[in-house]
Amino acid sequence: MSLRGVELAVIPKETVRVVRAVFPKGCAAVRMRDVLGPIFEDAQFKELFPVRGRPAVSPARLALVSVLQFAEGLTDRQAAHAVRSRLDWKYALSLELTDTGFDFSVLSEFRARLADGDAGRSVFDAVLAAAGEAGLVRAGKRQRTDATHVLAVTRDLNRLEFVVETLRSALNQIAEVAAEWLLALAAPEWFERYAARPEDRRFPSRWAARIEHGDQCGVDGMNLLEAVWSDSAPPGLRALPAAEILRQTWVQQFQHVDGVVRWREAKNLPPGLIRLRTPHEPDARTGSKRDVDWSGYKVHLSETCEPDAPHLITHVHTTPAPVADVVVLGDIHAALAERGLLPDEHLMDAGYVDAGQIHHALRDHSVELVGPVQATTVKGQASGDVFDNTLFTVDWDRQQAVCPGGQTSVQWREARSQEATAVTRVRFAARHCGPCVLRSSCTTAKTGRNLTLRTQDEHDILRKARIEQDTGHWRRRYAHRAGIEGTISQGVQAFGLRRSRYRGLAKTRLQHLLTGAAINLARLDAYLTGRPLARTRVSPFAALRPAG
């Protein structure tokens, strides 16, 4: 299909006349069109379509239909039917009343183009830009950010189920292209072990028997891999997606011990960021946050939070589940800077905030991070006065530190932490610490006390932040962050934010961008109609809690 530009700026007169008569007070889609205009243009999507071919449905219309679809929670069939039958949608899409729309499959094809071309961001940005032109969103002042977990569309599997299902999937895909070759290779026991899904059969209940079953599965999978990668294998087997996933899984889950294939111990498994969890969604990873464990992804939402303007989402960022919050903050600020939407104050929880991020945000983007920093790490007794880093006097010019007992450090060296950040290692001599009367409140080490300090700028930032966050003024500023929980709740309950509709990180990211655009439309309509923000729900019993 090729792209043929369609003019969306002018709504057909008959469509306007009928819609004004039917909706004298307006409705969400009509108000959105009146305030924001057509939002999208076909030229925005020209890179996604070839120059030659039969004319395509206007991508600008498809983008708007996709946003409206997510705003109302419609399936592709329902959305295509709404284009044919609903007056308010025809008004928003600049369609004649007699327009018959398009087949529902066009929406799926359009989403695939957006995902493959990484163009979902342009859809989200266009809605935000239209709101900006209408004076409803602007840079500066405050924004807040938080994240929530997103469940993959596939079922969670334990390790044994995972390897069995991975091998079964590879056998099925190979059977489709090389049935006779596989029949000659497969042992009779393979049909008993791998013909049915793992959830449809019973595995041994004893732990030792399950380990033995897993080892046998490892041997069978290794035999299959050796056969697929042999010179006698039919051409093309190595290129099968299931064969490649089988190879990666066996590298991660099994090892050769004295020439025998065995399970890897938990300590020898790869880190969660690269460890596969299911053969049916290779991008899904396992994440953990406090008492929640899940397989899938994580989505970060940033929004404005000024009382005199609608609270609009300014950035949506989707990552694999194990990626730490603090890692993505730089990308969020860079994206906001590119759109000209950086805040003056950025409110977020402790997961995003450390001394390095506070320093870089202020230095690179003139953004003040407002969030709790972690308490100092101390070594010593569990009770009584314990000396942390703040009780040591640091002289950066002389490169030495003085402990609470008055002793001066004997070593000062630059180093790198486990996270590869620059730190300073400071050591006090054992001859000073051993007879010190304050030793029990300082360290339990048999040698002298060791200190690990940030760089001077970050050290000063931490000291200042720890003092400020104990003040009432800081707590009042930080209290505005709590509103982001309501945004996540709205996204989860009204827009299905916490469950991926599609397989893979690219399509899940597109889902979240369309969801963010849909939430913005809903919030713009609520703002234009004067609908107040919902109050925080408190149960009747919790409301009886005594103050203090």
Q: Please report the pLDDT score of residue 6 as a whole number.
A: 65
Q: Please report the pLDDT score of residue 202 as a whole number.
A: 78
User: What element of type H or E holds 422?
Assistant: strand 422-427
Residue 287, judged by CB atoms within 10 A of its CB (0-12, 13-18, 19+), counts as buried
* Cα 514–chain centre separation: 14
Q: Please report the pLDDT score of residue 534 as a whole number.
A: 80
Return the DSSP state at 55.
B
Residue for token pair 């732990």: 207
Tell me the helix, strand and coil percentages in the chain, rounded to 5: 45, 15, 40
| Tens of pLDDT, residues 110-121 | 999 999 988 999
Q: Please report the pLDDT score of residue 381 as a whole number.
A: 42
Among 101, 201, 137, smallest CA distance to 336 is for: 137
Q: Please report the pLDDT score of residue 3 as a whole number.
A: 55
**Sequence-ordered list of residues with C-beta below 8 angstroms from that of 205, at least 6 positions apart, any chain:** none
| Residues in the chain with pLDDT values less than 70 | 1-6, 51-55, 375-386, 548
Q: Can you spell out the DSSP letters for 199-248?
A: GGSPPPSSHHHHHHHHHHHHHHHHHHHHHHTSTTSPTTSTTSHHHHHHHH
pTM value surpassing 0.95: no
